Amino acid sequence: QTNHVDENAPAATALGYKHDASKVDSKKYPAYAAGKNCANCMLFQGKTGDAWANCAALGGKQVNTKGWCMAWAKKA
Ligand code: SF4
């Protein structure tokens, strides 16, 4: 059983979330740039090495370390 976020759920589509950041529509989301991903986002709640972990922006659902959404903010 998993608690992975559904890419097609309204909360995810509203933020342009993709499990695979390379699938992000960079025309629609110009804030996206290669190298930005959940693993280096301050809202990612996992530990280094976790493949999936909760994200504060997506209601406590798990996101993929290789994902991205428009709420991305650089981890301090
Ligand atoms: Fe990933 Fe950060 Fe967006 Fe959460 S807020 S889905 S950790 S990029």
Q: State the pLDDT at residue 76.
A: 87
CA distance 18 to 50: 17
Confidence of residue 71 (pLDDT cuts 50, 70, 90): very high
ipTM: 0.99
The CA 71 to ligand 1 mean position distance, Å, reads 6
CA distance 74 to 68: 12
Confidence of residue 64 (pLDDT cuts 50, 70, 90): very high
To test the pocket of ligand 1, the residue of 19, 62, 69, 74 to mutate (highest count of ligand atoms within 8 Å of its CB) is 69
Q: State the pLDDT at residue 1.
A: 58
Tell me the residue range of the domain where 7 lies.
Answer: 1-76
* Tokens linked to 44: 């990612």
CATH number at residue 60: 4.10.490.10
Residue of the CA atom closest to atom 3 of ligand 1: 69
DSSP annotation of 70 reads T
Closest CA to 44 of 7, 10, 5: 5
pLDDT in tens, 14-54: 999 999 999 998 999 999 999 999 999 999 999 989 999 99
Cβ(12) – ligand 1 distance below 6 Å:
no
